[in-house]
């Protein structure tokens, strides 16, 4: 993009080079550096360079003893609790503009996670936690009616170009393994999955035929490919299922409904819950982070904050603390559909019950009346819940509830959520959040149109909208736009007022100097 370039800032180690987008500004203004998720770029069949391979190799010795059983532990949480600042933590500190020790301490306390599977060396380290920049996730993936691998890799590249901090591959169609392999090898951001979807494919789509063995094998398969975090619906218990019976929209989570069906068919407890400690051992070996799924999240405004939702949340709190026993990183998923006045309660309860583990929410949508505009209904809730302390926001596209999103839908969803995340960072007072706002505001007041375009989230669209009515090149320096025209532009008038005031001050200054420059003048009596 014009006026933008990628630069790298080196850390204390020569092999730590953090990417930023640098926006060159006119008028002698200092360039602005922006957080960059786009990655180095690659040929899909070749993949990205393995940025972290050397760091991982350095750490490959040793294990840790937990609960009386020795097993390999390669997690960022494990190292953080031992007081070690890993290269990944140093990378994140430079990326966020924060102190390395602060990053380590937040991970050690469980308030932040650094998702980075040892088998995904291509990823550029990032962090998810309430004291860091609010992150956003974009969902991609094939379905039974749309299963192009090339299209999904393109969606991945497109999503990270526009600012997705993580991407979830929610493929449910054919070629799940092959699709994920191409996504992993081409992703500079952490990749999440819902392993239950692939496990279900292995039993021909019949939830009743699912088993712990099938699920475990699927987990290991995905772990070997490098999946960084996995949504696990271990909090949907048999006793919770009847609580959803009175809902308007029942159980809307795919994973939640699958596990509820299994529990009822077998009249047994959720096998993800009963085998959870075994999951922890597997996750510790690969440094996979739990994304504890909210299988009973509300799917309508009428069902928000009900007993089913909060009963599951209490179980997720229990599971969070068990994972920490194994030094496994955890974030907790949240709703859903929640009216504005009920949003804060969700964050407060989750932070209390789950020991301040990062909260990761889908929106929430603040009203149910706007199919085709749910990227807006949910971005409202996302901005609020981010302000209250949610660490990562899962995007919603205009196609939510209607169909599989295409390339343009992905962009619309990402942009809507970048706005929500940034608004929440401003409200939280993140130390670097306002720099971009201030630079753009100054450019706007000084009619530096190209700088305004280049500082915006979508420079191409900003430029396109401006040029619809004022396409000529001289309009890029004009002191007005087509909204107000040359005579009614408030900023042009404000500039003239400043100039008038400055001129008046200069005249008064001359008058002061002509009078001898004295503060106190002798009293002149008049009769």
Q: Which residues are annotated as a binding site for substrate?
A: 139, 168, 197, 233, 253-255, 294-297, 333, 360
How far apart, in whole angstroms, are the C-alpha atoms of residue 123 and residue 185? 9
- Binding-site residues for Zn(2+), in ranges, read 337, 401
Where would I find the H helices in 287-373?
307-325, 343-353
Residues 6+ apart with CB under 8 A from 26: 448, 450, 451
Place of tokens 């630069």: 7
Looking at the DSSP assignment, which residues form a beta bridge with residue 166?
137
Q: Among positive and negative, which fits the CA dihedral 510, 514, 519, 524?
A: negative
Terminal CA-to-CA distance of the chain, rounded, Å?
74
- How far apart CA 304 and CA 166 sit, in angstroms, is 26
CB 16 within 8 A of CB 167: no
The Cα 113–Cα 166 span in angstroms is 13
Q: What's the residue count for the chain?
A: 527
Query: Among 165, 163, 162, 143, which Cα is nearest to 152's?
Result: 143
Binding residues for [4Fe-4S] cluster: 481, 484, 489
Query: Are the beta carbons of 315 and 237 closer than 8 angstroms?
Result: yes
Measured distance CA(337)–CA(360) in Å, rounded: 14
341 secondary structure, DSSP code: G
Binding-site residues: 139, 168, 197, 233, 253-255, 294-297, 333, 337, 360, 401, 481, 484, 489
């Amino acid at each position: 993009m014009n006026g933008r370039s990628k630069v790298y800032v080196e850390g204390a180690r020569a092999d730590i080079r953090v990417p930023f987008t640098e926006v060159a500004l006119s008028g002698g203004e200092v360039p602005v550096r922006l957080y960059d998720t786009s990655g180095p770029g690659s040929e899909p069949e070749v993949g990205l360079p393995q940025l972290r391979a050397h760091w991982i190799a350095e750490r490959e010795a040793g294990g840790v003893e937990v609960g009386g059983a020795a097993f390999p532990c390669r997690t960022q949480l494990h190292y953080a609790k031992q007081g070690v600042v890993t290269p990944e933590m140093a990378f994140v500190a430079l990326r966020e503009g924060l102190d390395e020790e602060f990053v380590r301490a937040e991970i050690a306390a469980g308030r932040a996670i650094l998702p980075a599977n040892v088998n995904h060396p291509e990823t550029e380290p990032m962090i998810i936690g309430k004291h860091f920049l609010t992150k956003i996730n974009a969902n991609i993936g094939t379905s039974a009616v749309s299963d192009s691998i090339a299209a999904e890799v393109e969606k991945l590249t497109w999503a990270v170009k526009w600012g997705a901090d993580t991407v979830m591959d929610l493929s449910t169609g054919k070629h799940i393994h092959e699709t994920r392999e191409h996504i992993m090898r081409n992703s500079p951001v952490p990749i999440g999955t819902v392993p239950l979807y692939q496990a279900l494919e292995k039993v021909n789509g019949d939830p009743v035929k699912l088993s712990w063995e099938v699920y475990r094998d699927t987990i290991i398969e995905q772990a070997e490919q490098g999946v960084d975090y996995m949504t696990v619906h271990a909090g949907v218990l048999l006793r919770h299922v009847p609580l959803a019976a009175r809902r308007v929209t029942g159980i809307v989570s795919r994973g939640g409904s699958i596990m509820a069906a299994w529990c009822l068919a077998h009249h047994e407890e959720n096998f993800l819950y009963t085998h959870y400690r075994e999951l922890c051992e597997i996750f510790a070996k690969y440094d996979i982070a739990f994304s504890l799924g909210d299988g009973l999240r509300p799917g309508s405004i009428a069902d928000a904050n009900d007993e089913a939702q909060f009963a599951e949340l209490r179980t997720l709190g229990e599971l969070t603390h068990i994972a920490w026993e194994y030094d496994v990183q955890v974030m907790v998923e949240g709703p859903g559909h929640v009216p504005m006045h009920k949003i804060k309660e969700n964050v407060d309860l989750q932070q209390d019950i789950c020991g301040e583990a990062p909260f990761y929410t889908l929106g929430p949508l603040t009203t149910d009346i706007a199919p085709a505009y749910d990227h807006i209904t949910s971005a409202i809730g996302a901005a609020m819940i981010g302000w209250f302390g949610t660490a990562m926001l899962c995007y919603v596209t205009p196609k939510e509830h209607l169909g599989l999103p295409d390339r343009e839908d992905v962009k619309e969803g990402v942009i809507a959520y970048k706005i929500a995340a940034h608004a929440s960072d401003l409200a939280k007072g993140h130390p670097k959040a306002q720099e971009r706002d201030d630079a753009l505001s100054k450019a706007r007041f000084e009619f530096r149109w190209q700088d305004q375009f280049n500082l915006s989230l979508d420079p191409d669209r900003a430029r396109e909208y401006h040029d619809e009515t004022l396409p000529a090149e001289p309009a890029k320096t004009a002191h007005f736009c087509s909204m107000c025209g040359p005579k009614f532009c408030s900023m042009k008038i404000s500039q003239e007022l400043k100039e008038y005031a400055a001129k008046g001050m200069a005249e008064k200054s001359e008058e002061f100097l002509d009078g001898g420059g004295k503060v106190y003048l002798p009293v002149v009596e008049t009769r």
